[in-house]
Amino acid sequence: MQPVWRMAAELFAASFLEICPEVIFSDIWVGRKGFYLECTLPVNDELFRRIEERMKEKIRAGISPRVFTMSTKNVIEYLKTIKQYKLARAIDRSEPEVEIIKIGEYLGVLKGPIDTDLTKIGAIHLERRNDGVYGITFPTKEELKEFRKQKPQSHNDLFVLSDEEIYWTPEGTKFRKKIEEKITNYLQEKKFEEVEFSGDIGWYGEKKVFTILEEEVDSRLECGPADHPLQKIFFCANSSLQMFEDFSRIMPFLFEKEEDRFTVDGWIILSQEGSGVKIWIDRLSGILVEKRDFIL
């Protein structure tokens, strides 16, 4: 997480609230690839333009955001006065005090380091993402242009995000199935056989089997559908990460090895669980869509 992204997120929220006092934020979060704001109000291109201009006005005016500690009770009451009820409910009431940032009438609760030097925000990229807003900043306009040049303009040819659900198009479904087919072929080469079951994987004993599961995980939609709440996962019983040392030969990635997992750009792609290994298909396919470097 970059402290300047936290500042950009809070400045965006303050500017958004000034232009649209009716907006309600449910979460403001900074991740590995930018910042995210979940909100109730749809954002179109014209509104994005107005918010970004308001952000730039504040930067040019040299405003100084105030960061200080405030009692949890007073923060909750203040958020209620500006109708940010969801943010108020999200505060941990077991803590007597919280660190906050104040920009005009806006008050935000800080969850990590922040750089209040607005001049470091630089060039800003904003886009709609599911039911919220994704943003990232760059020190120079040239770096922003390079980012936009490499970033696909739309994923709609492969999938559509709507009402917190993922709808893969026929073309996108073919894309997903080819990824799954490559993984299945890899496992079969390793003498694994596919099974379906609704009980305990331990029933299969020492047999080398694999199946596809669905698990619920935290959602931030950092990479298309890469971290959607419901993850599709290959589970390979009686296997270890060592077996996947040559997995990169079927996927165009350089994996980073940790103790019990392989990652790409910080995302867990393979992880050890007991005597089995999980392959996170949604994260894998989401990153492949984002990178656009998987030739089918």
Using CB atoms within 10 Å of the CB of residue 229, give its burial: 0 to 12 exposed, 13 to 18 middle, 19+ buried: middle
Residue 293 neighbours by CB distance under 10 Å: 9
- Cα-based distances in Å from 30 to 15, 111, 154, 213, 217: 18, 9, 22, 29, 18
Secondary element (H or E) of residue 15:
helix 3-19
Q: Where in the chain is the domain with CATH 3.30.980.10?
A: 3-151
pLDDT tens, position by position, for the chain (296 residues)? 589 999 999 999 999 999 999 999 988 888 777 898 888 888 888 999 999 999 999 999 998 899 999 999 999 999 999 899 999 998 989 999 999 999 998 999 998 889 999 999 999 999 887 668 889 999 999 999 988 877 655 566 777 766 666 778 888 888 888 889 989 999 999 999 999 988 888 888 889 999 998 887 765 655 555 556 678 889 999 999 999 888 887 877 778 888 899 988 778 889 998 889 999 988 888 777 766 544 44
Please provide the CATH number assigned to the domain covering 3-151: 3.30.980.10
Name the segment(s) of the chain with CATH classification 3.30.930.10.
Answer: 165-291
Scanning the structure block, which residue is given the tokens 């800003």?
124
Q: Taking the complete model, does pTM exceed 0.75, yes or no?
A: no
CA angle 122, 133, 166 (to 5 degrees): 140
Can you tell me which residue has the tokens 């009438």?
A: 105
The kind and range of the H/E element at 175 are helix 170-189
Q: Which of 9, 233, 4 is nearest to 106 (CA)?
A: 9
Q: Which CATH architecture has domain 165-291?
A: 2-Layer Sandwich (3.30)
| Contact yes or no for 294/288 (Cβ under 8 A) | yes
275 contacts: CB under 8 Å, gap ≥ 6? 237, 238, 239
